[in-house]
C-alpha cells in the first residue's frame, strides 16, 4: 500500500495568526496560537499535492483518516522539558565545543578555564540550554577514547553553575552516564542512538530526555558521496523507526527532540531539500531542532569559505526555520542570532 506523508505549510505569525485561529481559518502549530497554518502538502514517493485544510474532508476515506490523524499530532502541544519552552519559537541552544579540532571553533575553549568562561557568557546571553561536547564530529574526524573525551569536558562540566541547563553532545554511553550524574538534562547523540548499543539502556535507566539526530555513515566517511532515494522521506522513515525502537526498549516518555542532521551525510541538494521542507517533521509529534550554524551549505551558496564568515547565512536560514515552526536552534553565534530573532519578531507584530 502506498505510504502518504503530511507536510504542514503556509504559516501565519503573531497577531494575524491569533485572529485567524480565533476565526477558525487556521490551525495552531503545537497548540501555539501565535503560529498557525491553513495548508498541507500530501506527499508520497511519486506524488505531491497541496490543499487547504478545509478541503481535507473531501479526500477519500482512508486518506482523510490518515491526514486527520497527522493533524492531531501537528496541533498537539509539546510538553516542556530540559528548560525548553516549546510554546516559544525558537529556543536557543548555545554550542560549547571543548575540542581541539571542531570545524568552526576547535581549540578556542578547550584550555584552562576558557570553557567555563564561555559557558558563563552563553548563560548571560540568555540561551535556553548549553550543548557541551568533547569529541569533534566534523566531516573526516575520527573517534576518540572515552578517557580522552571525558578529560576534555569534566572540569567545565563540574564547574558550571547549576542554574545553567546543560545538554551533552556525545555518542558514548559511559560519557552520557557521567554527564547525567553531573547535572546534564539532555543527551544529544549525533549517531541517532546507533553508535553505542548501551546508550538506550542509559537513557532508560535515568529517564533522561534526548535528541535523535540523523546521520548517514560516520563522521569519518559521511561526506563521501552521500546518497538517498528521497532524502526528506527517507529521514522521516528513519525517525519513525527510531521512535519504534525506543518504545520497544521501554522508553515511554515523549521528552524527545528530532534533528535531521544538516551536513551529516548530506550534500548541498540534500540540505536545501531538508531545510526547505523541514515542517514535514512536525507530523511526527515531537519538537524539531536544527543545527544550521556556520554549516558548509552557507559557503556553497554564498562563496564565503571561512567558517567565521558565515554569520549572515546562519541568521537568514535560522529565520527561515522559525517561519517553519522549528522549536530549537543550535548555534555558535548566540548574541547575533538572538538579535536577529528579536528584530524579526517585532516586525511580524505589525
Rounded CA separation 139/181 (Å): 30
β-bridge partners, 152: none
CA-closest candidate to residue 72, choices 146, 6, 123: 6
Using the structure block, give the residue that is written with the C-alpha cell 566517511: 221
Bridging pattern class, strands 129-133 and 166-169: parallel
Phi and psi (nearest 5°) for 49? -150, 130
Rounded CA separation 249/252 (Å): 9
Rounded CA separation 16/10 (Å): 13
Which residues have a catalytic role annotated? 295, 330
DSSP 8-state secondary structure symbol assigned to residue 103 = T
Count the neighbouring beta carbons within 10 Å of the beta carbon of residue 239.
Answer: 21
Cβ burial, residue 70 (10 Å; 0-12/13-18/19+): buried
Rounded CA separation 96/276 (Å): 27
Using the structure block, give the residue that is written with the C-alpha cell 497548540: 31
CA-closest candidate to residue 228, choices 273, 177, 194: 273
| 205 Cβ contact partners less than 8 Å away, ≥ 6 residues apart | none
CA-closest candidate to residue 169, choices 2, 330, 59: 330
Amino acid at each position: 500500500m502506498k505510504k502518504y506523508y503530511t507536510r504542514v505549510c503556509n504559516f501565519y505569525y503573531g497577531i494575524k495568526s491569533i485572529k485567524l485561529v480565533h476565526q477558525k481559518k487556521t490551525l495552531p502549530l503545537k497548540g501555539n496560537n501565535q503560529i498557525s497554518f491553513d495548508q498541507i502538502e500530501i506527499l508520497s514517493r511519486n506524488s505531491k499535492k497541496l490543499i487547504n485544510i478545509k478541503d481535507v474532508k473531501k479526500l477519500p476515506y482512508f486518506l482523510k483518516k490518515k491526514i486527520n490523524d497527522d493533524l492531531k499530532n501537528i496541533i498537539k502541544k509539546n510538553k516542556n522539558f530540559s528548560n525548553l519552552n516549546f510554546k516559544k519559537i525558537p529556543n536557543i541552544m548555545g554550542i560549547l565545543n571543548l575540542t581541539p579540532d571542531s570545524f568552526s571553533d576547535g581549540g578556542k575553549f578547550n584550555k584552562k578555564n576558557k570553557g567555563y568562561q564561555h559557558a558563563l557568557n552563553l548563560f548571560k546571553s540568555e540561551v535556553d540550554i548549553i550543548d557541551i561536547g568533547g569529541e569533534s564530529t566534523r566531516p573526516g574526524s575520527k573517534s576518540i577514547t572515552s578517557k580522552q573525551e571525558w578529560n576534555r569536558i569534566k572540569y567545565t562540566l563540574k564547574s558550571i553553575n547549576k542554574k545553567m541547563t546543560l545538554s551533552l553532545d556525545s555518542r558514548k554511553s559511559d560519557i552520557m552516564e557521567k554527564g547525567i550524574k553531573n547535572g546534564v538534562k539532555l543527551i544529544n547523540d549525533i549517531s541517532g542512538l546507533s553508535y553505542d548499543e548501551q546508550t538506550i539502556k542509559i537513557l532508560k535507566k535515568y529517564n533522561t530526555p534526548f535528541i535523535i539526530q540523523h546521520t548517514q555513515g560516520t563522521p569519518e566517511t559521511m561526506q563521501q558521496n552521500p546518497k538517498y532515494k528521497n532524502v526528506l522521506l527517507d529521514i522521516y522513515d528513519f525517525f519513525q523507526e527510531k521512535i519504534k525502537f525506543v518504545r520497544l526498549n521501554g522508553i515511554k516518555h515523549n521528552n524527545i527532540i528530532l534533528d535531521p542532521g544538516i551536513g551529516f551525510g548530506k550534500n548541498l541538494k540534500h540540505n536545501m531539500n531538508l531545510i526547505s521542507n523541514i515542517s514535514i517533521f512536525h507530523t511526527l509529534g515531537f519538537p524539531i531542532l536544527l543545527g544550521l550554524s556556520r554549516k558548509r551549505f552557507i559557503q556553497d551558496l554564498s562563496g564565503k569559505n571561512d567558517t567565521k564568515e558565515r554569520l549572515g547565512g546562519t541568521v537568514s536560514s535560522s529565520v527561515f526555520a522559525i517561519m517553519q515552526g522549528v522549536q530549537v536552534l543550535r548555534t555558535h553565534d548566540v548574541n547575533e542570532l538572538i538579535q536577529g530573532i528579536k528584530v524579526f519578531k517585532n516586525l511580524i507584530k505589525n
